[in-house]
Structure 1
Amino acid sequence: MPRFSLILPCFKVQGFLRECLDSVLDQSFRDIEVVAVDDCSPDGSGAILDEYAARDDRLRVLHLEENAGLGRARNAGMPLATGDYLFFLDSDDTLTPGALRAMADRLAEAGDPDVLVFDYARTYWWGGTRRNALARVLAEAGEGTFTAAERPEILDLLMVVWNKVYRREFVERGGFAFPPGYYEDTPWTFPVMFSAERIATLDRICLNYRQRRQGNILSTTSRKHFDVHAQYERVFAFLDGRPELARWRPFLHTKMGEHCLDILSKPDRLPPSDKAEFFRLTAEMFRAHRPEGAEIPAELRVLASGAFGYSAYRLRRRSGRAGRELERRARQAGGRAAGRLRGIGTAVRSRRPLETDLVVYSAFSHRGVLGDPAAIHRAAREIAPHLRGVWVVRDEETAALLPPDTEHVLLGSAAYRRVTERAAFFVNNVNWPGTLAKRPGSVHIHTHQGTPLKYMGVDLLGRPGARHGLDVPQMLRRADRWDHSLVAGRYAERVWERAYPCHFTSVPSGSPRNDVLVNAGAEEGRRVRERLGVPEGHTVVLYAPTRREYRRGGLVERVDPARLAADLGAGHTLVVRLHPSLATGPARGMGLSELHRRGVLVDATDEPHVEDLMLASDLLITDYSALMFDYALLDRPIVIHADDWRAYEASRGAYFDITEEAPGHVSRSYRELAWLLASGAWRDEEAARLRSAFRARYCEYEDGRAAERVVRTLLLGEPMPGREPAGVPGARAVTAGRDLLASS
């Protein structure tokens, strides 16, 4: 008996069916059967199914003689299913790699629950991907099992059949089946979820839910949307036959009203001539099934009274829209008036002298006390406590995470405008907003975010794919405000001056954030390991891939982290850190969060200080991330996994060939990577030689005193021995020459 029976109804999906079947049959988990139901499809879907069935005996095809519709096609496949769990997959959707293995592992861990609910991502016809907005519900459910009554928020998720798998014995015992018509998932999912005694969740994206440009049956204008009333009547009848589930009637009553009004509000669902009838039938059903004493939500009261008809409903909606429009116009008018007042205030304040002891900091688009600006701020508090440091943060949530005694302002607030209009110094690792005007005499110190391998600034003009969404001329106009550009070596100096042809002075200071790497002892690494839960004595491997410009969204899974963790074997801990731009997208849900929960690896993407992860690790595996330039300072092994180097170089552009000037061994396939790790070659003498040469070539100014150097020379204006301060913007600014290193 297979673990999963996937039931796959097919109708007019020949353009998507091969991709769907490949995503199922190529899964690493093989203990499955697929029951494909050709619902008398008029296109080539049936022939495609037969072709696949001829070469894979796990696929069985049932050809229906007449079109039955989605629900009844699923019913036709159920008697042929023999697996422990039923999975109803739509034939234009796809499984993500490793999805079935993750499901099987979670089912075993949960002791074979009645229902397992997993996550999905919407994939759009234009290439975009968006994770389920309520994914947190799955994570918050924990590792055990529960009923819907114990965690009713599980019913806030999209109530469809395909984001769950169902224990076949539970389905057969409950007699669950699909009715004909539209909205056939409704009388399946609600009864199933109400009845299930043991529900488990899997916080992992297991399915890509295709959003077609056209062809979505529920987005078609048709009277078939009236089927929703009959489907809810079936659910109410189900509750009538099960008094033990009567507690769900108020919930279902509200859900039905919300669902029907949502259909009515959509412009592409019902013919205009049918909307009044649809409203009338909805209101009649709403009143007929109203539980005694139930409180009616305000937005549904239009359905509760017979005095209100469709005309009253339309009037209320128009009034609501008109009210919102009036509010919008009022806000605009108020905003214009406030803008004029702010302009007057700015003009007055701009005539006041700069506060020469005020330094404004920001990092990573106002995400907190991080990176080079944070290191400079720490050094300034020790060396020059009279300097007032103020951080710009994006919102109150970010502000709540700041270290104690950190003075801050919210972006765009009145306090933000006051400090940015008066500050003498600005320190940032990205560009300040375009609305921030640079006052004469103020000094802007730009720290960057690392030594670049990939093209930046004007060099992106020849890479249209890489600069998608970037306004390079606007970037340069903002960079025109820079007075000083901090560099880690002569290579970085050449790159930044080429990429940003602006009037700044390159400062051979080193990277302040890297001082901790140069100066730290073993104790710092041990503390981080303990916090991450790394067992004593383990070899820690940090895997830090970068994003790809040749793929929309930036995510390309070049290495399967579960396989890498397994191949590393006992005595090793794999720590994964995704590129920050992928941290809030679907990448985390593609298995990383679940692997972290199960202890297979450590997902450290949310760790705010990447320096901590570097200190805690024994080996870095990366591809083309700038992290390699920093990690080289630790004199620990680095492996470059460059299996798509030519594609990356062609799409993004690079200043040198990392496969020829690597800081360690290079793998060009996963097989080579596995051999490097298993053989121990990753830490041989050749690896040490490559690392030393790389460090000398690209990290020549990194001596562990960069933050102090920036504070003393750029903020305090202390002259370098034998040299007089030059006349550059800012009363305390000095000329930054390479002999600055000798002054420390």
Structure 2
Amino acid sequence: MPRFSVIVPAYQVQAYLPACLESVLSQSCPDLELIAVDDGSPDACGALIEEFAARDPRVRPVHLPENTGPGPARDAGLDRAAGDYVLFLDGDDTLAPDALLAIADRLKETDEPDVLVYDHARVHWSGQAVRNRALSAPLTEHDPAPFRAEDRPGLLNLPAVAWNKACRREFLEGGGFRFPPGCYEDVPWAYSVLMAARTVATLDRVCVHLRQRRVGSLLCTAGERHFDVFGQYDRVFAYMEQRPELAHWRPLLFRRMVGHLTAVYSRRERLPHGSRALFLRRARAHYRRYRAPGVPLPPRERIDHAVVRFGLHRTHRMLRLARALGRGTARLTGLLLGALRSAALRLHYHVQRLLPLRADRAVFASREGHDGDPGALESAFREFAPHIRTAWVVEPKSPHAVPPGPRRLAPGTAAYWTALARSAYLVSDTRFEPGLRKRRGQVLVQTGAGTPLRHRGLDLLDRPAVAPGADADADAERILKDAGRWDYVVSANRHSTLTWERVHPGRYTVLEYGRPCTDRLYTATEADVARLRESLGIPAGAVAILYAPARREHRRTQPRLLDLERVVHRLGPRFVILARIPGPAGPPRPAASGRVLDVSTHPNVASLCLASDALITDYSSLMADYAGLDRPIVLHTPDREAYEEIHGSYLDLAAFPPGVVTHSEDELIDVFTSGHWRGSRSAQLRAAFRARFCPHDDGRVAERVVRRVVFGESEQPSAIPLPERRPAPSAAAAHDRPRLTTVPPQHAAAPRPVAEHV
């Protein structure tokens, strides 16, 4: 008996069916059967189902002699289901990666409820996935579970559909729940199932990707079939009338019915021409038949109820026109106000530039918040140049991107432009404000974004898949103009210096002092590491592996290159994986064992590096920073040729890697189970890589930059030699190597507290 039976009815969806079936069969929870029902489809759906059945024994094909509609087709699949739980999926939709694993975990947590309700995201024809956060509010997992629907009536405000629920098969069979014929067949089934369920649970996670087809779907095809909605609500109220204990649901379902009828009536693409008045008369009759007096209504719903109750067809048309006119007026007003505001800000900026420059002001901006080099320099400014007041440029949607203390500036505000006009120091690791006009005496410091391993700047112009824009000449002009304003560029190593000077040519001075953000890797103590591991939930004595692949800029959704659950299961109970996956595909679902920890949204990469014992990456520049910790690095590069062809590469990682290189998941597992990940060969490769890319990282990089930029100290003390450096110890390997608690006096730095950002 499988854990899940996934039922997929298919009718004229041949273009989308393979992706639908593949999304089920590729789930990380393989304990399933896929019942694909060919609902008499005249296209190739039946043949496609047979092809998948021949390839995978979990596929059970069902062929109906004629088209019966999605409801009877689902019933045909339900009659053949053998799983503990049944899920329904339309033939043009897909299951999200790891959805079944998340559902299985939640079912186990909530003691096998009758019904589990989960969320969905609408995927538009352009490929953009949008989740309705307002609709997902009733799916919160904070309240006790399981519960009855009466405890959380807001669940009935969710779409009345079958594809957002996992139902216990015995519950469905015992209750005799069947789908009626006709369109909107989900309505009576979904409401009846929720009202009858003894135990209900929720999962606040997108498990279904709902495809929004431009043509061909029921919701965008006009026809008389939309009148079936009346019969479906007749079945809903008939079900309640047969069960007096459900009478308290009547007011809520009455509101849901009126809202649904209004939605169908208001959409011009649904009802045939000339049938809208007839539909409204039918809706008026249903309103009177099932009306529940005394139901409190918000103002917007009162208008809809009045239109349906009194059959105000012409009034509704006038209201639509008035709303359209109001939206147009509001849009035009917004454009005018925006133009006036922009002009006022430009004038304000020009006025501020006439005022004296403030030598005690510094502004910092970073794509990574306080986690990158600007964050480390801002801390160094406050420590070594306390007379300078610092401020951070922070987007309003990311108020916690920087630590408390410094002043915060929202882009596009008067305070923001004042700071740009009058601050003596501007520090950033990304492009400076395009409208910025550098003043005499202003100092612009560019920190970059780590050691460049893939193409940057002018070299990207020959890479259209990842180039910043479509116009190469305009991009080149923008790059050159931006670099022409820089005074200093902070470089981590000789490789970075040579690359920056070529791809961002300018008259700036290169400060080849190291990466400021690596200072914390040397100032942290063993107690700091232990505290970080505890805050992340890493068990004592575990080997924590940080998995941080590079983002594929040429793809909207990021591919999943590793089945982390399988990897951690094969490695054994001692290993834990910290998964930092680039968006927007989202992080992996934690394994049932709890040994895959999602740290994708963790605000500080340095903390993750300190807490881990090894790094798995592919082409991320993080490897150059992590090498300074002298901890094992494993490169997993299954798509190296394709990645380098698209993004370009400045380093042959196959010839000069920082550690062992793997090309398949099984090879990666073997490297860890055999111990090669921390063997002598790995140590030799890491030592050579560290010597090349971490020659200056010794815990005092930010201090050297501040002393040069602020105080003009061109003569800086040399970096601590590599053999004498003592980076923060690894928790799992600290007992295997000698520890030194002192630093040679000539290189010792004043002790500084380690900031905690977890």
Shift of 1:632: 0.4
| Change beyond 3 A, Cα 1:632–1:137 | farther
Is the 2:123–2:210 Cα contact (8 Å) retained in structure 1?
yes
| Change beyond 3 A, Cα 1:658–1:323 | same
The partner residue of 1:715 within 710, 722, 725 is: 710
The partner residue of 2:320 within 317, 324, 334 is: 317
| Change beyond 3 A, Cα 1:659–1:35 | same
Q: Tell me which amino acid in the other structure corresponds to 1:268.
A: E
| Change beyond 3 A, Cα 1:233–1:440 | farther
| Change beyond 3 A, Cα 1:664–1:232 | same
Task: Give the alignment of 1:176-325 within 5 angstroms.
Answer: 176-305=177-306, 306=309, 309-325=312-328
CA displacement 1:124-144 (0-9 Å, x = unmatched): 444444456455754535683
Task: Give the alignment of 1:390-469 within 5 angstroms.
Answer: 390-395=391-396, 398-399=398-399, 402-467=402-467
Is the partner of 1:379 in helix, strand or coil? helix
Question: Within 2, Cα distance between the matches of 1:16 and 1:342?
Answer: 49
Tell me what 1:604 maps to: 599
Using structure 2 for the length normalisation, give the TM-score: 0.88
Shift of 1:57: 5.1
Tell me what 1:546 maps to: 550
Is 2:351 the counterpart of 1:331? no
The partner residue of 1:532 within 531, 536, 544 is: 536
Shift of 1:513: 0.9
Q: Tell me which amino acid in the other structure corresponds to 1:290.
A: R
Is the partner of 2:275 in helix, strand or coil? helix
Question: Within 2, Cα distance between the matches of 1:496 and 1:136?
Answer: 48
| Change beyond 3 A, Cα 1:49–1:578 | closer
Tell me what 1:502 maps to: 506
Is the partner of 2:296 in helix, strand or coil? coil
Question: Within 1, Cα distance between the matches of 2:714 and 2:36?
Answer: 78
CA displacement 1:22-45 (0-9 Å, x = unmatched): 444455645433433322221232
Is the partner of 1:270 in helix, strand or coil? coil
Q: Tell me which amino acid in the other structure corresponds to 1:344.
A: L
Is the partner of 1:369 in helix, strand or coil? helix
Is the partner of 2:151 in helix, strand or coil? coil
Deviates more, 1:246-255 or 1:161-170: 246-255
Is the partner of 1:140 in helix, strand or coil? coil
Is 2:616 the counterpart of 1:621? yes
Deviates more, 1:475-484 or 1:131-140: 131-140
Deviates more, 1:664-673 or 1:209-218: 209-218
Is the partner of 2:202 in helix, strand or coil? strand
Q: Tell me which amino acid in the other structure corresponds to 1:538.
A: A
Task: Give the alignment of 1:632-643 within 5 angstroms.
Answer: 632-643=627-638
| Change beyond 3 A, Cα 1:33–1:402 | closer
Task: Give the alignment of 1:331-730 within 5 angstroms.
Answer: 331-364=334-367, 368-395=369-396, 398-399=398-399, 402-467=402-467, 472-473=475-476, 474-553=478-557, 555-579=558-582, 582=583, 585-588=584-587, 591-592=588-589, 594-595=590-591, 599-720=594-715
Tell me what 1:14 maps to: 14
Shift of 1:354: 0.7
Is the 1:93–1:207 Cα contact (8 Å) retained in structure 2?
yes
Tell me what 1:112 maps to: 112
Question: Within 1, Cα distance between the matches of 2:7 and 2:332?
Answer: 52
Deviates more, 1:294-303 or 1:338-347: 338-347
Shift of 1:287: 4.3
Is the 2:120–2:131 Cα contact (8 Å) retained in structure 1?
yes
Is the 1:182–1:218 Cα contact (8 Å) retained in structure 2?
no
Tell me what 2:731 maps to: none
Tell me what 1:146 maps to: 147
Question: Within 1, Cα distance between the matches of 2:500 and 2:566?
Answer: 38
Is the 1:369–1:391 Cα contact (8 Å) retained in structure 2?
no
Is the partner of 2:555 in helix, strand or coil? coil
Shift of 1:402: 4.7
Q: Tell me which amino acid in the other structure corresponds to 1:327.
A: A
Deviates more, 1:558-567 or 1:710-719: 710-719
Is the partner of 1:233 in helix, strand or coil? helix
Question: Within 2, Cα distance between the matches of 1:53 and 1:743?
Answer: 68
Is the 2:3–2:32 Cα contact (8 Å) retained in structure 1?
yes
Is the partner of 1:375 in helix, strand or coil? helix
Shift of 1:662: 0.6
Q: Tell me which amino acid in the other structure corresponds to 2:114.
A: D
Tell me what 1:733 maps to: none
Is the 1:36–1:49 Cα contact (8 Å) retained in structure 2?
yes
Q: Tell me which amino acid in the other structure corresponds to 1:498.
A: R
Question: Within 2, Cα distance between the matches of 1:92 and 1:343?
Answer: 50
CA displacement 1:631-667 (0-9 Å, x = unmatched): 0000111001111111111111111111211111111
Shift of 1:71: 0.9
Q: Tell me which amino acid in the other structure corresponds to 1:332.
A: L
CA displacement 1:435-458 (0-9 Å, x = unmatched): 333333311111122112111122
Is the 1:487–1:507 Cα contact (8 Å) retained in structure 2?
yes
Is the partner of 2:92 in helix, strand or coil? coil
Tell me what 1:728 maps to: none
Is the partner of 2:292 in helix, strand or coil? coil
Is the 2:392–2:409 Cα contact (8 Å) retained in structure 1?
yes
Q: Tell me which amino acid in the other structure corresponds to 1:145.
A: P
Question: Within 1, Cα distance between the matches of 2:14 and 2:508?
Answer: 58
Is the 1:205–1:586 Cα contact (8 Å) retained in structure 2?
no
Is the 2:394–2:401 Cα contact (8 Å) retained in structure 1?
no
Is the 1:302–1:308 Cα contact (8 Å) retained in structure 2?
no
Work out the percentage of aligned pairs sharing the same amino acid.
43
| Change beyond 3 A, Cα 1:573–1:56 | closer
CA displacement 1:77-107 (0-9 Å, x = unmatched): 3223233222222223334554444433433
Runs of 5+ consecutive residues of structure 2 not aligned to the other structure: 718-745, 750-758
Is the partner of 2:687 in helix, strand or coil? helix
Question: Within 2, Cα distance between the matches of 1:100 and 1:630?
Answer: 37
Question: Within 2, Cα distance between the matches of 1:659 and 1:286?
Answer: 71
| Change beyond 3 A, Cα 1:42–1:399 | closer
Tell me what 1:726 maps to: none
Q: Tell me which amino acid in the other structure corresponds to 1:178.
A: F
Shift of 1:678: 0.4
Is the 2:704–2:716 Cα contact (8 Å) retained in structure 1?
no
Tell me what 1:174 maps to: 175
Is the 2:450–2:621 Cα contact (8 Å) retained in structure 1?
yes
| Change beyond 3 A, Cα 1:631–1:402 | closer
Runs of 5+ consecutive residues of structure 1 not aligned to the other structure: 723-740
Is the 2:489–2:508 Cα contact (8 Å) retained in structure 1?
yes
Deviates more, 1:170-179 or 1:254-263: 254-263
Deviates more, 1:641-650 or 1:532-541: 532-541
Shift of 1:626: 0.9
Question: Within 1, Cα distance between the matches of 2:59 and 2:437?
Answer: 65
Q: Tell me which amino acid in the other structure corresponds to 2:227.
A: F
| Change beyond 3 A, Cα 1:478–1:161 | farther
Tell me what 2:741 maps to: none
Using structure 1 for the length normalisation, give the TM-score: 0.89
| Change beyond 3 A, Cα 1:215–1:401 | same
| Change beyond 3 A, Cα 1:711–1:287 | farther
Is the partner of 2:90 in helix, strand or coil? coil
Q: Tell me which amino acid in the other structure corresponds to 2:660.
A: H
Shift of 1:545: 1.0
Is the partner of 1:299 in helix, strand or coil? helix
Deviates more, 1:296-305 or 1:664-673: 296-305
